[in-house]
Each structure stands twice: as structure tokens, then as C-alpha cells.
Amino acid sequence: MGNGIRFDGIVGDSEYGTVHDFWFELDRLGQQGVAEVSPRFVCWATPPSCRSGRAEHASKRVDNLATYSPAFTEQAWAEHTIKLTTRGPAVWKVKSAQVQLVAQADPSRHGKSVPTDRRYWLIVAHNPKTDETKYLVSNASASTDVADILRAMWARWHVEKWFERAKQEAGLGAFEVRTYISLIRHWLIGGMLMLFVAEQTESLRKKRPGDVRTGHDRHKRRHLAAVVPRPTRSEPSQPDNQYHQHRTAISYDSRKKRDEQAAL
């Protein structure tokens, strides 16, 4: 982004969103973003009446704002359905309000912190099915539809699934790194590998369209599996219980010999 690259939106987890400077840098770059924040993240739902060290004028935790602030308690929950998730469609109940972040923090707990001039979105999303609550912050303009912000945030699912496939299905799960450069190298290797797999898959589908698996093909395979007998095991023709007893005895004798040799 420092080289002039712009995106429709930047999404991140609480490791990014909880850092105030992260939002200020996005503002400086003119880049819109949305990220999750921890319940301990602090801001103001209403501008402080004065700059004071008293607790009532200090910034508040977002979980407390969602529970007690009139900016949230005086509005009804709005339902939003997320279609693409690991477990299928999910319904989230959402409340949102414009807040001010901490532009300059005082080291004391109830210090004379300074709020930002501009306001940001604070979104509270609750999943009734799992009883999970997420707190989201976005620097989108006040005229932005909250549904668009949520749509951008939930798009992380595609990114997470992409990394999951690159690690599990492409065999890169054991790649362990400790530095940022190594992390970027891992990301590039995964991207190139997934691109190669996607291109080869598309090429094979064009060359051999009959190999594309369909529901009819799966039905045929299940039918063949039902009528074709399974190959028999090439073991001695003994009843199963006698065969396993025989193998256990051999294993016991072999282990006993190894222990005796180790004792010598």
C-alpha cells in the first residue's frame, strides 16, 4: 500500500484492529478497512464533555458500551445472514454506532486521553446459535451501509479457507516460520502452488470433460462398489480370531527376544 496500491477493503483480526495506530495509518493512506477488536478495546460512544482524569470522562471498553451505552441499548438488533461459512449459513444479530477512538492515550488508567476528531464504526455482532459476540471497527465513512462492511469482514472466510487448503491439501502444513520474511515466502509459495493446481485442474477438465465428477457418476461408482466383490485378503485360510492370535504370539516372541538381547 505504501507504493500506491489500493484495495476495496482491508480486513484483519483483533491483533491488528486493537492497535489504534493501525487505523491511523489506514487513514493516512486513504485505505478503507474493517477488523475485529478485543472486548478490552476502548473508545467513546459520545464525545467527552471535558478533558478530565475522572473515570466518567474516560474512554470505555467496547463490551461495556455495547451493554450500557444508549447508543446501543436504544436500538434494536438487525439480522444479517452470512451464506458462506464452514458450517453453512449463519445468522448474526448486529448493532452499530459511530464512535471516537483514542488519538492520544494517557499512561494512567483514567488519564486525560484525547479522542480522535473523526468517528469510526463500532459494530457489535452476536450469533444466537453459538452465543458468540464479535466487536468490529471500521474507518468507512458514515454514509457506508453496515451490510457492506459486514460483507467485507465475512469475506475473510474465503481467505482462511484458501490458507487451509494450501496447508492441508497441498502439503504445506508443516512449514514453520519465525520471521516476517519467511511468512511472506510461505504465502508466496502457497499462492503459486494453488495457482498451479487450479490451472492444471482447469486444463484437465477441458481436455477430458467426461472425467468431471457429477452426481450421476457418483451413483454409478456406488452401484459398482455394491456389485463388485471386494478383494480377499491374502492371508492363511484360518478363522479371523485364530489368525490374530497367531500374529500376536509372533509379535510377543519377537519382542521378548529383543529384550533379552538388550539385557546382554
pLDDT: which is higher, 240 or 250: 250
Residue with cell 490374530: 244
Residue 225 has pLDDT above 50, yes or no: no
What's the whole-number mean pLDDT along residues 240-264?
67
Whether pTM > 0.75 for this model: the answer is no
What's the whole-number mean pLDDT along residues 222-243?
49
What's the pLDDT score for residue 228? 44
Which of these ranges, 34-38, 76-80, 110-114, has the smallest mean pLDDT? Answer: 110-114
- Name the percent of the chain lying above pLDDT 70: 72
pLDDT: which is higher, 77 or 112: 77
Residue 41 has pLDDT above 90, yes or no: yes
Residue 39 has pLDDT above 70, yes or no: yes
Exposure string (b/e) for 179-189, b if CB count within 10 Å is 16 or more? eeeeeeebeee
Exposure string (b/e) for 53-83, b if CB count within 10 Å is 16 or more? eeeeebbbebeebbeebebbeeeeeeebebe
> Which amino acid, 250?
I
C-alpha cell at 121: 464504526
Q: What HEC string does the chain produce? A: CCCCCCCCCEEECHHHHCCHHHHHHHHHHCCCEEEEECCCCEEECCCCCCCCCCHHHCCEEHHHHHHHCHHHHCCCCEEEEECCCCCCCEEEEEEEEEEECEEECCCCCCCCCEECCCCEEEEEEEECCCCEEEEEEECCCCCCCHHHHHHHHHCHHHHHHHHHHHHHCCCCCCCCCCCHHHHHHHHHHHHHHHHHHHHHHHHHHHHCHHHCCCHHHHHHHHHHHHHCCCCCCCCCCCCHHHHHHHHHHHHHHHHHHHHHHHHC
Main-chain phi, psi angles of 99, to 5 degrees: -130, 170
Mean pLDDT (the chain) is 78
What's the whole-number mean pLDDT along residues 103-116?
69
What's the pLDDT score for residue 237? 47
Q: What is the crossing angle of helices 156-168 and 180-207, to 10°? A: 80
Residue 231 has pLDDT above 50, yes or no: no
Give domain limits for the chain.
10-148, 165-207
Residue 33 has pLDDT above 80, yes or no: yes
- Name the percent of the chain lying above pLDDT 90: 31
> Which of 61, 70, 64 lies closest to 18 in space, CA to CA?
61
The neighbour count for residue 256, using CB atoms within 10 Å, is: 10
